[in-house]
Amino acid sequence: MDFTVLKMIHVTTAVVSYALFFVRGIWMINGSPRLGERWARIVPHANDTLLLAAAIWMTILTHQYPGTHAWLTAKLTALLFYIGLGTVALKRGKTRRTRITAWLGSQAVFFYIVAVALTRNPLPWY
Ligand code: HEM
């Protein structure tokens, strides 16, 4: 598949991933039953799988890999934190306070990933 198309899929699914995570966080805060709806459990996972598949495909096409290129190592590591904190926020967090803190932390990690992607630098603020 063409690199431009893959990048479009990657960026679009990244935006969708954030939007779905944000909305589910609002539902978590409001105690809305919508959080438990079937689609709300399936669609985000399908979208994130596509996001990662496009990422892996692009790393192969550009011969840039986590472990070799620092910015991709940083992105992949941060992605694990994004997923971990996201799970605490929407599922595992014992108290509302813990879940909201994890939800905010997860968003900070997301924007760090975007900054790393745009600058190709693991320390994008330098
Ligand atoms: C939530 C997770 C992620 C987000 C929000 C994200 C975001 C982005 C964005 C916004 C771009 C476009 C940058 C630009 O326009 O120059 C991009 C490009 C890219 N991302 Fe991701 N990304 C994520 C995860 C990953 C992962 C896990 C990998 C691989 C380990 C990866 C590999 C790449 C590659 C190879 C490019 C293309 C860079 C190029 O143009 O050469 N991304 N990403």
* Long-range own/partner contacts, residues 41-47 (CB < 8 A, 24 or more apart): 44/17, 44/20, 47/13, 47/16, 47/17, 47/20
Grade residue 126 by pLDDT with cuts at 50, 70 and 90. confident
Domain count, the chain: 1
Per the domain annotation, does 48 fall within a domain? yes
Per the domain annotation, does 124 fall within a domain? no
Stated pTM of the model:
0.94
Grade residue 1 by pLDDT with cuts at 50, 70 and 90. confident
Per the domain annotation, does 58 fall within a domain? yes
How do residues 96-108 score in pLDDT, each as one tens digit? Answer: 999 999 999 999 9
Mean pLDDT of 92-117: 97
Grade residue 89 by pLDDT with cuts at 50, 70 and 90. very high
Per the domain annotation, does 29 fall within a domain? yes
Per the domain annotation, does 110 fall within a domain? yes
Evaluate: CB of 59 within 6 angstroms of ligand 1: yes
Mean pLDDT of 62-82: 96
Per the domain annotation, does 84 fall within a domain? yes
Least Cα distance to 86 among 13, 28, 9 occurs for 28
Q: Which residue is closest in CA terms to ligand 1's atom 17?
A: 117
How do residues 2-54 score in pLDDT, each as one tens digit? Answer: 999 999 999 999 999 999 999 999 999 999 999 999 999 999 999 999 999 99
> Beta-strand (E) ranges in the chain?
none
Per the domain annotation, does 126 fall within a domain? no
Q: Which atom of ligand 1 is nearest to the CA of 65?
A: 30
Residue 95 structural domain: 3-119
How do residues 51-65 score in pLDDT, each as one tens digit? Answer: 999 999 999 999 999
Least Cα distance to 22 among 117, 97, 89 occurs for 89
Mean pLDDT of 76-95: 96
- 117 CA to centre of ligand 1 in angstroms: 5
Mean pLDDT of 72-99: 97
Pocket probe for ligand 1: among 58, 61, 80, 110, the residue whose CB has the most ligand atoms within 8 Å is 58
